[in-house]
Structure 1
Amino acid sequence: LGDGDGTQKEAEARRRQLLRKKYVSRNQRGIIGTPPPVRGRRHETVQTEKYLEELFLHPPELDAGCQTDLFLHRAPSPPYVPAKTGCDAATEILDGELFDFDTEVQPIIEVLVSRTLEQALVEVLHEEEIAEMKQQQQKILALREAELAELRRLEQEEQKRQTERDRRFLQDKIAADLDREMQERITAAKLLQGRLDEIVPEVLAAVDRIETEKDRAEFERQITPWLAKEVAHEIGQWIDANALLEDIIREILLHKKKLLQGDTAGTTAEQPQYDEVDPDEEVEDEPVAAGAVDEEAGEDPEQVEAVPEEEAAPAEHEAQNGDSEKAM
């Protein structure tokens, strides 16, 4: 069965090849063939088709096999041993001939024990030194904290002194400004006293000459609010100046009383306050230094001498206001 199938396949392949050649020759009848070779040359038949074709006609083949014997392994070479150049000798050492262990081990043990004790002592001393250094460090840190606390306290005291100094300077400045303004007003009032006596009748006469109701209403609408505002402002300043002057006089007298009683040893003394306070409030005592007491004591005569002038100012102001009201 196997040979018959192979024969049929070969016949079928041969038939297909013949049909293919016939088809190709039929299609190439109109194609010009290859020209004949030139002299001295020849054409070789080669396959020039587009695709390679399988060859179905195989030449006879024969298979043959052979086996080569393996080489035998060579025996291992013996190790190289050089030739002897001398004679051998042997020595026997019995126990106890070289050294006695019980005798020789004592110095070694002593050295090991001494080195161990020395290292332990060094470690103990090192730990004690570290503990002492920590205690010293804690003492230094505690001293540093105490110094920092004292420094902060001194800074706070200095800040309080500076704040108090600035506050008193501001109070003195305000009092000086009020005093200067009051003196300017008094001077202006004195200078304008004679002029007002001449101007006021003319102004009142001009106001009386307003006849129409419309002009009078316009005059009142423009002048009355401003006049009321200025009068209220002047009265308010006069009241504030009187209250401030009374407070200054009271504080100066109380301070002089404290100084006259002999309280000059740095104890609590009354400080002059220039704030606008209620006369009914109690005067608070503030601690002052001895230097501040001496400075204030040096300034008190000038303040006491200036009291009559300050007392005279409200009186002149009252007289001025009375004259103005009479003129109106």
Structure 2
Amino acid sequence: MTDPNPRTAEASGLYTYSSRPRAVACQRRRHRDSILQPVEEPMSYGNIMYDRRVIRGNTYALPTGQVPGQPDPLELQRQQQARRRALARKRAQEQLKPRTPEPVEGRKHVDIQTELYLEEIADRIVEVDMECQTDAFLDRPPTPLFIPAKTGKDVATQILGGELFDSDLEVKPMLEVLVGKTIEQSLLEVMEEEELANLRARQYAYEEIRNVELAEVQRLEEQERRHREEKERRKKQQWEIVHKRNETLQKISALIFARQYLANLLPSVFDKLRNSGFFYDPIERDIEVGFLPWLMNEVEKSMEHSMVGRTVLDMLIRDVVERRINDYEHKEAMPPGQKTNVINGPNTVTDPSVTTLHTQKPVLDRVSSQPAPSQERKPVEEGGHLMAE
């Protein structure tokens, strides 16, 4: 069944089905202006096999369900609830929008222009009065200066006194609003300061409690650390005691073993060392090391002095003997008369042996000042007798 006029069918309240082919609308929205071209509602399509309006079963039986074409009460109730929710949402959005306060008594809100440049607001048609009158023939006036034409329009507005607002009626509500807002803001600031003070007090109390708890935690940690250190120290001390005890036991056992082992070995070793000269008498060793070398040095010095004295004495004796021999030979070679003159004359020559003896006497004195044995002085005395003779 097909009805060419769907509106007539809707008005009659009968169900109609149209099988006219239609193009499926694109589900993707295009970027269009919603004001110039409103968005069309998407069409709903369904399977008629699951449509409740299609009667199934015996076609001769009476319909037990709802008559097709009548609205479903549940669907109507659901639509009404949706409309109520939409109205409530719209009303809430309108209340949340910022609005100006309500006008005072005797006044109402009027839309005025608040743009930067003033423009004439008029709904009436602009009327212009023009008139024209010919003038008498006049002389040609001077050529005026060239002034470019204006590109804009000159607009003027005249405002009379009391036309815009009445000061007594307009200033009072503004002052009331300003004073009220100022007092409200002051109260809010005072309440905020009180709240901040309370928060600071609570924070200070909480910080004190936290500091006390932290101090207690630190004290407990320090106590635990001291206990742990004391435990470690005690363990180390006990370990040292056990180690020393074991070491002492080992030393004692080693000492006992060494004594038993060296009991028969020490006497023989000492005897061998004593026989080898490692053990000596300190007095005897002092004499051998300290006294005997000094004595030998002194004896060597004395022998050197005696040898020097003997050598000097031999040289003196040889010199004296050679001089006497020379004198005797000289006397033997001279005539007898000259011998007497030479001996008794004023120019008598002294005995060279005496001069030599006196000259060498200081040397003998220096040599004899050194300590020498008696047997060393004996040759000197004999030499003295010889020189005297």
Per the shorter chain, which TM-score range?
0.3 to 0.5
Please report the TM-score for the alignment, with normalisation by the length of structure 2: 0.28
Quick one: higher RCO (CA 8 Å, sep 6+), 1 or 2? Answer: 1
Which is helix-richer, 1 or 2? Answer: 1
In our comparison, the structure showing a higher alpha carbon Rg is 2
